[in-house]
Amino acid sequence: MSGRAVVTVDLRKVAENTRRVVDALGGRSVIGVTKVTCGSAAVARAMLAGGAAGIADSRLENLVGLRAAGIDVPLWLLRAPVPALADETVRVADVSLESEIETIEALDAAAHRVGRRHSIVAMVDLGDLREGMLPDALPAFVERAEAMPNIDLLGIGTSLTCYGAIVPDAENLGELVALTQSAEARIGRRLLVSGGMSSSLDALVAGTLPERVDSLRIGESILLGVSTVTREPILGLHTDAILASAPVIEVMRKPSAPRGTAAQDAFGGTPTFRDRGERLRAICAIGHQDVVPTGIRPLDSRIGVLGASSDHLVLDVEDMAAPPRVGDEITFLPGYSATLRLFTSPYVEKRFVGA
């Protein structure tokens, strides 16, 4: 035990999950997304071992780290750069997702300066209202991109579910295919159809993923083993490839409701409490700065997460068979939001096993 909060990644399970996703997609390419792990090279290698065709991340800094770690495969930049970052983008990323003419003009000029080409996926907003141009703007974008001497239009893509929670289905993915085919007819060559992220696996399971969708960008389902639409297990994937643990720093019997005049908590909220009398409570050395408390589930179902401050996670441990002692570790299964913050926090130790 390290005495600190730890997030542990089982790389064997990550590789196995990747292989199951690749096999289920039947020949479509899978771009493994490492952004929730802050661009972990170990996770990238596990995804590649499982059959991923490339690696994607939303942060240039993470792609720089992957290159420095020797990840020599196509790297995709998921979040479009501002024009000021065009030079760094073309040096590090092979592909970027783009929707603004101004940005691809900057990428074209930057690619010319370093003597290389840069590929883009033109992003179309099909209802989720995150990034992407509206469909009627695509023809002019394609025409402009095709005229740039250092830019290769690789394909047409979309993002669904992450912002507006719109589910990929036969209608919106069918529209993506139709838009791509129209662009192909205009330029006279085949384009990649990048049909979204982990949420598109639900369309695969439902039998509504169009055959023409030939690439998906998959992160959460590979790493956490769940559908991003239902948060339920999908495709028989491991759901425990990532675990979190934190040491207990206090175990005491206390009232279950505070006493005194109530105001706002540390985060401006007004908490409510159920008075259950005195209960055995434990505090773990982890808090909002390190994790989303509502996004973690103790492996021991008899433990309840009551809440957290910046640095303290408060648990109800009354129903445990044997109460924890100071220094013991409590282990949790984190969801996406919790995993993101665990990897971002410098106070949480990162461990990789099963390589």
Which of the residues are catalytic? 35
Strand ranges (E), 48-130: 54-57, 75-77, 95-98, 118-123
> CA quadruple 179, 75, 230, 227: dihedral positive or negative?
positive
Helix (H), strand (E), coil (C) string for 189-233: CCCEEECCCCCHHHHHHHCCCCCCCCEEEECHHHHHCECCCCCCE
The answer to whether 49 and 18 are in contact (CB under 8 A) is yes
The answer to whether 56 and 78 are in contact (CB under 8 A) is yes
Helix (H), strand (E), coil (C) string for 245-270: EEEEEEEEEEECCCCCCCCCCCCCCC
Structure tokens belonging to residue 203: 């369309």
Q: How far is CA 300 from the centre of its chain?
A: 26
**3-state SS, residue 237:** coil
Residue 306, H or E segment: strand 304-308
> CA quadruple 310, 312, 317, 321: dihedral positive or negative?
positive
The answer to whether 263 and 271 are in contact (CB under 8 A) is no
Q: Which residue has the tokens 């974008």?
A: 141
**What are the C-alpha distances in Å from 31 to residues 56, 173, 187?**
6, 18, 25
Distance CA 126, CA 171 (A): 10
Distance CA 14, CA 233 (A): 14
Q: Which amino acid belongs to residue 77? A: L
Facing residues of 254 across strands?
279
CA angle 256, 259, 262 (to 5 degrees): 110
